[in-house]
């Protein structure tokens, strides 16, 4: 039981490049979330999903897109990376809304 | 949206000391959780506690929902308790995180 995994662990991009971050969970959770964490700050919600085929905007959705084609996977895309998107990205999941959130190990992204 | 304020922002302890971390919310929440982020960046859920009191070993948490605050108690602190402690609250599935309390425990 791997829990929540994230791919890749670290990535360097040039401004304008695109990439996709993958989050996978093997706990059969319905809800999945993408957060970003910047130095000295708490986590901010980017997008979330309440089930397969659904997505919704969080607090800071601009510049990101997401997809939840399979229940166990939640993808975060950056179409045209900007230096302001340099951050650590965390994925989380819950069995249902309003329950304990379980986090992945994070992806460190540097945009030059 | 909900504002989450944590105090203190920093805390330095000697091993064996006790501490209390506080989290205030600007509005009522029905989902409240405490997390520990270790020095390697991993986030671990400590408590899901929208109301009442829970204990897990040397850690315990109390939430007074009517007064919109929560407390995290750490007793007999150990160096492995070092890291950042976050509280987060919200409605149903969406959480707003506080800025965190940085805890350093010296041997």
Phi-psi region of B56 (alpha: psi -120 to 50; beta: other; left: phi over 0): beta
Does residue A54 carry a pLDDT above 80?
A: yes
Q: What is the pLDDT of residues B15-70, one digit of tens each?
A: 999 999 999 999 999 999 999 999 999 999 999 999 999 999 999 999 999 999 99
pLDDT-derived band of residue A80, with 50, 70 and 90 as boundaries? very high
The answer to whether A100 contacts B100, with C-beta atoms less than 8 Å apart, is no
Give the mean model confidence (pLDDT) for residues B83-95.
91
| Residue A42 touches partner B, C-beta closer than 8 Å | yes
So what's the pLDDT on residue A18?
97
For residue B31, what are the contacts with CB-CB under 8 A and spacing of at least 6? A97, A98, B48, B50, B89, B90, B91, B92, B93, B95
So what's the pLDDT on residue A17?
97
Give the mean model confidence (pLDDT) for residues B58-87.
97
| Chain A residues whose beta carbon lies within 8 Å of the beta carbon of residue B86 | 42-43
So what's the pLDDT on residue A81?
96
Structure tokens that stand for B104 in this block: 């350093």
Phi-psi region of A16 (alpha: psi -120 to 50; beta: other; left: phi over 0): left
Does residue B4 carry a pLDDT above 80?
A: yes
| Chain B residues whose beta carbon lies within 8 Å of the beta carbon of residue A58 | 94
Among the partner-chain residues A59, A90, A100, the one whose CB lies closest to the CB of B48 is A100
Q: State which residue of chain A sits closest to B29, comparing Cα positions.
A: A98
Among the partner-chain residues A33, A42, A103, the one whose CB lies closest to the CB of B98 is A42
């Amino acid at each position: 039981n791997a829990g929540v995994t994230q791919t890749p662990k670290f990535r360097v991009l040039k401004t304008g490049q695109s990439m996709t971050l993958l989050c996978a969970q093997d706990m059969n959770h319905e809800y999945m979330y993408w957060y970003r964490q910047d130095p000295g700050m708490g986590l901010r919600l980017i997008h979330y999903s309440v089930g397969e085929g659904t997505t919704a905007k969080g607090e800071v959705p601009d510049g990101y897109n997401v997809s939840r084609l399979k229940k166990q996977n939640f993808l975060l895309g950056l179409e045209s990376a900007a230096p302001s998107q340099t951050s650590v990205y965390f994925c989380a999941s819950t069995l249902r809304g309003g329950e304990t959130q379980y986090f992945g190990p994070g992806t460190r992204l540097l945009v030059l | 949206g909900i504002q989450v304020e944590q105090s203190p922002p920093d805390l330095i302890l000697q091993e064996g000391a006790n501490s209390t971390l506080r989290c205030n919310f600007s509005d009522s929440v029905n989902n409240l959780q405490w997390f520990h982020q270790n020095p390697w960046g991993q986030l671990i859920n400590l408590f899901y506690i929208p109301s009442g009191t829970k204990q897990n070993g040397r850690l315990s948490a109390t939430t007074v929902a009517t007064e919109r605050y929560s407390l995290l108690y750490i007793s007999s602190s150990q160096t492995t308790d070092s890291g950042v402690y976050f509280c987060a609250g919200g409605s149903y599935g969406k959480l707003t995180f506080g800025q965190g309390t940085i805890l350093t425990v010296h041997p």
